[in-house]
A and B are shown apart, each in its own frame.
Chain A
Amino acid sequence: MQKVDTFRISLLPFCILIFSIFALMIVTYLAVSVPIFQKEGPQIYTTNIWKAAENNPDEEFYGVLAAIYGSVYTSVLAVLIALPLSIGFAVFVIDYAPQKIKEPLIVTTDIMAGLPTIIYGIWGAFVLVPMLRDYVMYPLHKHLGFIPLFSFEPAGGYSFLAAGVLLGVMVTPFASSIIREAYRMVPFTYREAAFSLGATRYEATKILLSYIKPAIIAGILLAFGRAIGETVAVSLVVGNAFNIHPSLFAPGYTISSLIANQFGNAFIYGYMVSALFAAGFFLFIIGLAVNIGSLIILKRWYSHAQRF
């Protein structure tokens, strides 16, 4: 008879606990969201209204479209910024960095990826926002203001752009480490093959990057997931205004900053808590989809890459 592994069994409750907490969380989200769905239906997600009435719950109406718009807008910006930065950085670390500074660079980026995000937020609000406003937003608005992207007069600088840039800076180390690990795994023989055909370093790098394309996509998706879930740092720089505007310089809201800002007094109202939970639920679904999708891509790629 097999000996019973008591240690293993003693770990089981922890495992069960974690999963029950997770399951309970989903149930809570659904349950608390129900009232707002019953009252408004899909309009909670398709309208941009934030009407809180203190004494008459029937007059309350919440539509979080502006926050969804802002979340997607700022996260897409972040990813557009992080993509070239993280690929460039990964290639630099693996191919060009001298052996001596390679490890310190890797450790530093990993630390940067794990820093408390409020640190980025404060830096963003005090340094990044004024800098962007004076050196990027105003000049662009003045000379190219007729383009919708630059059409909004950048008052304080708190804007989609500021949030996007800050998020881009924040997720770059994270995306870069995923891309870096994949790039490091490219078998040496493919490198040799590329160079033996007369490729320049730039061309060879391009060929090898095309080989790890799935990992790059996964890294960027995961970065998107991080960016869209980020709260504190964003709420310090995005402007927190219910605003659906095409301009980069307009202030806006994101789902997470909306929740963070409104939760404190939401209990006074009849439906606000429910509306915020519904917004959170939306974020939850996006996060789940993005993470599952990228993990599948990554796993498939790694098992494929290991065959060579």
Chain B
Amino acid sequence: MSQPVILTMKQISKAFPGVQALNQVDFCLRQGEIHALMGENGAGKSTLIKVLTGVYQMDQGAVWLEDRPVQIRSPQEALSLGISTVYQEVNLCPNLTVAENLYLGREPVKHGRIDWKESIRRAGALLNKLSIAVSPSAMLDECSLALQQMIAIARAVDMNCKILILDEPTSSLDDEEVAQLFALMRQLKQAGVGMIFVTHFLEQVYEISDRITVLRNGERVGEYDTSALPRLQLVAKMMGKDFNDLAVIQAAPKGQVDSTSPPVIEARGLGHSGTIKPFDLTIHKGEVVGLTGLLGSGRSETVRTIYGADRPDQGSLKVNGRPVKISQPLDAMKLGMAYLPEDRKKEGIIPELSVRENIILALQAKRGLFHLMSRKEMEEAADRYIELLQIKTPSRETPVKSLSGGNQQKVIIGRWLLTNPDYLILDEPTRGIDIGTKTEIQKLVLELAGQGKAITFISSEIEEMLRTCSRMAVLRDGAMVGELAGDQLTQAQIMQTIAGGKTVQEDK
């Protein structure tokens, strides 16, 4: 039953200015097991991983590989010891091709020079094997976030490693890709690779993992066999209190759609040539409209055209019944819109600025250059949202880049809530957010709708959408192909529409 232990971490401690990210954490990994590392945002999961791979140096503790004590001082050493990692934030080079990213640092060499043909060929084979639909010679920055994530995974699994670390690899993947990844993980498991798997999706943990280690506030809560730890108990261990996410959501009231007053958003034939075909979309007060579709189906592009992030080149838009022209995001903001972008690293956070500045930035921009918010006002606003969203940060003056991934996301949500918008566009707002807060956010969405705000919600998780949305628009290949409401809102029906099933009448 018990496989040999291949990795032992003992009494690991790591402090950052203002926080003890890890406090005497033990961890052990067996051969051929999938070990889930669980915890709330900021619990220290990524830090533990980065200590193991030599990105950070630990303050205290020791690491053994099999029964050999090792000192890992850089990712390079980790690699050479057979530890391969997919980090939480995609870490690839945007200026290189997909093939180059796959083989960087270990390019096939023939006669003392890099054999590009071989590299492209191997990359093609690897991508094929993992069913990643991208040309090896495409530039990485032309790939979507999900593709980049898959490429990072491909790179890691191709390394012939003994230990594979996956830090939230599934946060931007859709179900099909997750299934693929899991199939691959099972294969590697057969081959005896030990895997550390971090995720906030509980279903995935139960589907794939053998054991679970739970962290809370930088301390280890315990290590459990997955089969022996029911879901509710796991959540309780992570949060340190009892919590039933589903109950919370079901208790929340659904918004009352107000279809008497003019719709908040009324798009007619709005489109952006080259990315999305003209579409119609009407959203009323108090309504949560979901946008769904496969990755790359144009969900983000659709909302970006409404918001003016990409300037629409056809069609018209009415806000509260009045025709408007939006040529830049500020116009949209002045009309009461808010847009939480999908890619938080590239388009969301201002990394060097503090949590406070990141939170107030949108409101300040809306007010204008000459109406600087007073320091007190800023601090109050920041504190309010740190409290409300339970943002875990040493202080409000900490640069946002040193927050954990999930907490960065919360900062950006806070930024938009602060502007008190009438129409809120949320593109993957719960990506990388822990289960407790995720439920809070879903609840918040319903509450906001209850207050009469209009909301567009995009998520790769259909269940989450089903819980929050009162209506859903389905996109395929950049075109809106159907709308579902009421009884039609079932998982099966949605999947069918996405895939292009014929049972759904297009439009009403």
Do A and B pair up? The answer is no
**Residue ranges of A at the interface with B (Cβ–Cβ < 8 Å):** none
